[in-house]
């Protein structure tokens, strides 16, 4: 069973080491970790540590972590997958991104009303270097399931990063555009609204769209 813990702690050397040592001591397996310095509010300057943990004696972990002198606050939270679910990512030119998002959000709403959790993230961005960097970073994003590239011209370094991303198991849907990106994508879709719709259908557990059956096609 996956459970999550949020910790506010002092920004000091060794804090994360002490917390993870306690989790390991109680046979917990950390499946996801996130930490950053809080910038605003009463805890500004302190560290926020969020961990998703599988197995082990969770209650014993909480109790022992609370006793650490460096820990200010500890709370159990729902894992991100139960709150935000699977992520659909949309990168590219602003006008086309908004059209893809229209299809994705409408379709996600339909599935989320039936109990699923699918979130849609957009980033209007132009430039080969900038887009290549964004595509490269997708593999590091938690819960990323599919990427839609929306633009009029994409190729070069972007296409190389698309190839790498697909090898890591994240499919890429491309709009029908100029450049080499459509040639290396899993699916090419002419209608941006349809592209967003199909991206959500791909990640949905209840939809009947199978990317494998249409891989390499243009529609």
- In this prediction, residue 104 carries a pLDDT of 97
**Cβ neighbours of residue 38 under 8 Å, at least 6 residues apart?**
8, 44, 45, 46, 47, 48
Q: Within a domain: residue 190?
A: yes
- Confidence label for 216 from pLDDT (cuts 50, 70 and 90): low
**Cβ neighbours of residue 189 under 8 Å, at least 6 residues apart?**
173, 174, 175, 176, 195, 198, 218, 219
Q: Which domain holds residue 145?
A: 84-214
- The model's pTM: 0.84
> Final residue of a domain: which of 46, 79, 112?
79
Residue 172, helix vs strand vs coil: strand
Closest Cα partner for 181 from 201, 151, 207, 138?
Answer: 151
Q: Within a domain: residue 42?
A: yes
Closest Cα partner for 4 from 25, 27, 33?
Answer: 33
144: pLDDT strictly greater than 80 = yes
Contact predicate 14/48, CB 8 Å: no
């Amino acid at each position: 069973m996956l459970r999550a813990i949020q910790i506010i702690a002092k920004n000091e050397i060794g804090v994360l080491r002490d917390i993870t040592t306690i989790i390991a001591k109680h046979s917990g397996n950390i499946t996801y970790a996130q930490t950053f310095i809080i910038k605003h509010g009463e805890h500004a300057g302190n560290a926020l540590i969020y961990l998703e943990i599988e197995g082990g004696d969770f209650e014993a972990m909480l109790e022992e972590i609370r006793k650490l002198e460096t820990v200010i606050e500890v709370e159990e939270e729902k894992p991100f997958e139960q709150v935000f679910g699977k992520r659909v990512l949309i990168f590219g030119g602003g006008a086309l991104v908004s059209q893809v998002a229209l299809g994705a959000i409408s379709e996600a709403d339909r599935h989320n009303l039936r109990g699923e959790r699918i979130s849609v993230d957009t980033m209007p961005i132009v430039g080969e270097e900038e887009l290549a960097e964004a595509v490269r970073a997708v593999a590091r994003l938690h819960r990323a399931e599919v990427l839609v590239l929306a633009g009029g011209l994409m190729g070069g370094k972007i296409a190389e990063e698309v190839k790498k991303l697909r090898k890591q198991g994240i499919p890429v849907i491309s709009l029908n555009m100029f450049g080499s990106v459509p040639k290396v994508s899993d699916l090419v879709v002419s209608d941006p609204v349809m592209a967003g719709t199909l991206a959500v259908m791909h990640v949905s557990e209840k939809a009947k769209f199978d990317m494998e059956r249409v891989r390499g096609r243009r529609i």
